[in-house]
Amino acid sequence: MTWLNETRDSYDAIASSYADETRDLLDRKLYVRAGVVLFAELVHANGGGPVADIGCGPGHTTALLRELGAEAFGIDLSPEMIEIARREHPGARFEIGSMTDLQLDDGSLAGVLAWWSLIHIPDEAVPGVLGQFLRVLRPGGVLAVGFHVGERSTEHTHYRTPSRVAGWLREAGFTIEAQHLLRPDDPTPGAILFGRRPDVAMADGRR
């Protein structure tokens, strides 16, 4: 896929500067940080277990999840980002991989965090990616997706409305539990959607 290669190459090229620019991002953007904290608490309340930070970049969010007690590891398309993540967070696990084809067992995760990483996936590929997220989550597993809000696309970044992303999540099989709109008065707001893979009873219509 050309867009996948272009995304990987663009992040490889800026990996070092991106890591520097985002190192304290979660300390500066407290509403975004609160979303990470809430995700970790939801996973803990559901019994804990492995959590994948998909599109982890230099690993700063993965590290915060681990500080919060989550069994978090990171996956990113960019080898340069993974190299930095491994160097800066040596106690954590980081793997090179694509959200379009996750090399993870079915039902192996308690949570999936896609923190402003789905923004690089073209519309036509989003359903397949969300299908991957659903597949690797165990029943009752938690999903949190952060993204730019809008109705436009640039060369490598896609801006979407919360209703559109929520629709994709429902079509993939997720239930939506919460929606947080960040900085609604900004030219480019952010949003976080929290979803869950239904448990077996819910999926069978018994609850």
Crossing angle of helices 126-136 and 162-172, in 10° steps, is 50
| Residue 107: predicted pLDDT | 98
| Residue 200: predicted pLDDT | 66
With CA atoms as reference, report the closest residue to 63 among 34, 42, 92, 40: 92
Domain ranges of the chain: 2-203
How many angstroms separate the CA atoms of 118 and 54, rounded? 9
Q: Is 1 exposed, middle or buried (0-12, 13-18, 19+ CB in 10 A)?
A: exposed
pLDDT 10s per residue in the chain (207 long)? 788 998 999 888 988 998 988 899 899 999 999 999 999 999 999 999 999 999 999 999 999 999 999 999 999 999 999 999 999 999 999 999 999 999 999 999 999 999 999 999 999 999 999 999 999 999 999 999 999 999 999 888 999 999 999 999 999 999 999 999 999 999 999 999 999 999 864 444 433
Residue 140 near residue 79 (C-beta atoms within 8 A): no
Global pTM reads: 0.92
| Residue 93: predicted pLDDT | 97
| Residue 155: predicted pLDDT | 82
CATH of domain 2-203: 3.40.50.150
By DSSP bridging, strand 190-196 and strand 137-148 are: antiparallel
| Residue 199: predicted pLDDT | 87
Would you call 125 helix, strand, or coil by DSSP?
Answer: helix
Place of tokens 């993870």: 104
| Residue 18: predicted pLDDT | 86
| Residue 129: predicted pLDDT | 97
Residue 129 near residue 118 (C-beta atoms within 8 A): yes
Residue 121 near residue 77 (C-beta atoms within 8 A): no
3-class DSSP string for 61-122:
HHHHHHHCCCEEEEEECCHHHHHHHHHHCCCCCEEECCCCCCCCCCCCEEEEEEECCHHHCC
Place of tokens 């997706």: 145
With a CB cutoff of 8 Å and minimum separation 6, the contacts of 166 are 176, 179, 193
